[in-house]
Structure 1
Amino acid sequence: MQHKQSESSLLLSRDDFRSRVFDRDGERCVICAAPGVDAHHITERRLFPDGGYYLENGATLCADCHLRAEMTTLSCDEIRAAAGITAVVLPPHLYSDARYDKWGNILLPNGTRLRGELFYDGSVQKILGDGSVLGLFTDRVRYPRTYHLPWSPGRSDDDRVLPDTRDFEGQRVIVTVKMDGEQTTMYPDYLHARALEWTGHPSRSWVANLHGQMGWKIPPGWRVCGENIYAAHSIHYRHLRAYFQVFSIWNERNICLGWDETTEWVALLELPSVPVLYDGLWDEVRIRSLAAPTFNGDAMEGYVVRLAAGFPYAAFRHSVAKYVRADHISTRTHWFHGQPVTPNQLQPDASSVAPTDSTVRCVS
């Protein structure tokens, strides 16, 4: 089935959405052919920045089938197939290579599900409980898609860009170096990269050993997200402070800890955080000036901006953004498939696990 992001489809008004969905489906439930009572949003409208009123995101359902769809015992794929919908319309921040339930929770091939941004919403908890599907959820979470800042030049056609920076204005922000490695998430008993399956690879052996030594320190239900930079990707580092550097920690309620609490936890976990370039109130001129060709003697991919305060998973796209330099990707072969593993180098005074305080270039 073809996947389309919402910006490539025609947005309708609420009334037009209902009438056009009913007209297409002959005012009958697409599942059981009973009289239709609801123009159902296949993917929850709250996940869309514009309300999700797209014809391909709607289907006519009767009351019983609508309840099953809300409980997710009737799947999005079943509804689309019954309605003859051949394109999956997704909110722009969701991944096109994943399958989702109604509420934006990722469906895994083994039948389990990952908690999405609406999972802890009270109404969602109730309806999923009514459907007896809460037991299908694991504590694994896929790291969200990070939007580019409006002035970031190093983006591809598939990347997402913030329309503006209003969510940062007037807020204390932290700007960190964007490291060129593999995003890695650690739980007390498991770790994975951006994809949830952990496949053995020489570039991952070091971080897997690190997790084996310290994973027990992570509180139950929490996860530590950082960059595995043991192997050279597009940048061959020669002055690293550590091969794994933390950029966020999430608690059992899927809330990203504030930066000050994060630095306390990295000290407790004896892990380093990514280097900080700026800590202060949002200052676009100053933050734009942080783009530089090098940092600490190595090429610099870019930087990441995040709110200093904590935020829930659902607010990620309003709380974190990145700047990537132009023409960053220089390798022709993906580093994981066929490219020889070349270890990065630590700076002379670094240990395999570096001190926990971050290098700070400028603080306001």
Structure 2
Amino acid sequence: MKKYGRTFHLPISPGATSDDKVMSSLDGLAVDDLVVTEKMDGENTTIHAAGTHARSPDSRYHPSRDWLKAFAAGISPQLAEGERIIGENPHARHSVAYDALPSYFLGFAWIIDDRVQAWDPTLARFEELGIHPVPTLCRGPYRASLFEDLARDLDLDRQEGFVARWADAFPESSMPERMGKYVRAGHVQSDIHWMKSELVPNGIDRS
């Protein structure tokens, strides 16, 4: 099982806890082509040639993973060794309630042999595999107030935060410098972990 790397918090992220890692500098994100996507409130999940697994070390059964396992069964045979699709499984409601998701798996990274692929080829690969990507909030050059402006525009009742990353490819080992996340304050609003609660499914857009 290849565990997906950790995404460090941006320095302005109010949702960082004492257990989280925070970027010490934004120098690695000061590039001409930056992609910012919505951070979905779900379970980080990897699909690979041999199946699927969650990032969490907690491997206990949970009904929210049933749909994902069936979905991955149609994707895995199309993947080569060393190829991984990383995404979010928002089937179970955690802290943010979604009422019109396009899918219970939303992809945000395509990795081949420990290299995070560029964003445009990633979207093309998702389309080939029938995977919906996470929403893109903006794309363009880095500027000094970019993250503050994006944070101000968030609907904190409906959005957990955002993730900024290079549009170009980069080694997975460079994630702490090439990616950063902003998470809203007070994100976890329940004392009971979602895996220990009754499954409350988020809504799917069936239009």
TM range (shorter): over 0.9
Give the 3-state SS of the residue equivalent to 1:306 in structure 2. Answer: strand
Q: Please list, as runs of the form range in 1=range in 2, the aligned pairs for 1:1-364 lying within 5 A after superposition.
A: 140-195=1-56, 198-251=59-112, 253-291=113-151, 292-294=153-155, 299-337=158-196, 339-349=197-207
What are the ranges of 5 or more consecutive residues in structure 1 without an aligned counterpart? 1-139, 350-364
C-alpha RMSD of matched pairs (Å): 1.6
Q: Is the 8 A contact 2:44 2:56 kept in 1?
A: no
Q: Distance in 2 between matches of 1:245 and 1:271?
A: 7
How far is 1:314 from its partner?
1.5
Q: Per the alignment, do residues 348 and 195 of structure 1 end up closer, same or farther by CA in structure 2, a change over 3 Å counting?
A: closer
How far is 1:164 from its partner?
1.9
Q: Is the 8 A contact 1:249 1:257 kept in 2?
A: yes
> Which amino acid in structure 1 is aligned with residue 176 of structure 2?
R
Q: Distance in 2 between matches of 1:348 and 1:207?
A: 18
How far is 1:294 from its partner?
2.3
Q: Is the 8 A contact 2:7 2:180 kept in 1?
A: yes
Q: Distance in 2 between matches of 1:317 and 1:173?
A: 15
Q: Per the alignment, do residues 239 and 284 of structure 1 end up closer, same or farther by CA in structure 2, a change over 3 Å counting?
A: farther
Give the 3-state SS of the residue equivalent to 1:284 in structure 2. Answer: coil
> Which amino acid in structure 1 is aligned with residue 30 of structure 2?
E
Q: Is the 8 A contact 1:256 1:313 kept in 2?
A: yes
Q: Is the 8 A contact 2:8 2:20 kept in 1?
A: yes
Per-residue CA deviation, residues 93-134 of structure 1 (Å, 9 max, x unaligned), is xxxxxxxxxxxxxxxxxxxxxxxxxxxxxxxxxxxxxxxxxx
How far is 1:344 from its partner?
0.2
Per-residue CA deviation, residues 149-177 of structure 1 (Å, 9 max, x unaligned), is 11111111111111220111133111000
User: Structure 2 length normalisation: TM-score?
Assistant: 0.94
Q: How many residues get paired?
A: 206
Larger Rg over CA atoms: 1
> Which amino acid in structure 1 is aligned with residue 146 of structure 2?
R
Q: Is the 8 A contact 2:85 2:107 kept in 1?
A: yes
Q: Is the 8 A contact 2:43 2:88 kept in 1?
A: yes
The structure with higher relative contact order (CA 8 Å, sep 6+) is 2
Give the 3-state SS of the residue equivalent to 1:314 in structure 2. Answer: helix
How far is 1:293 from its partner?
4.1
How far is 1:211 from its partner?
0.7
User: Structure 1 length normalisation: TM-score?
Assistant: 0.54
> Which amino acid in structure 1 is aligned with residue 204 of structure 2?
L
Q: Per the alignment, do residues 204 and 275 of structure 1 end up closer, same or farther by CA in structure 2, a change over 3 Å counting?
A: same
What are the ranges of 5 or more consecutive residues in structure 2 without an aligned counterpart? none
Q: Distance in 2 between matches of 1:205 and 1:141?
A: 21
Q: Is the 8 A contact 1:218 1:269 kept in 2?
A: no
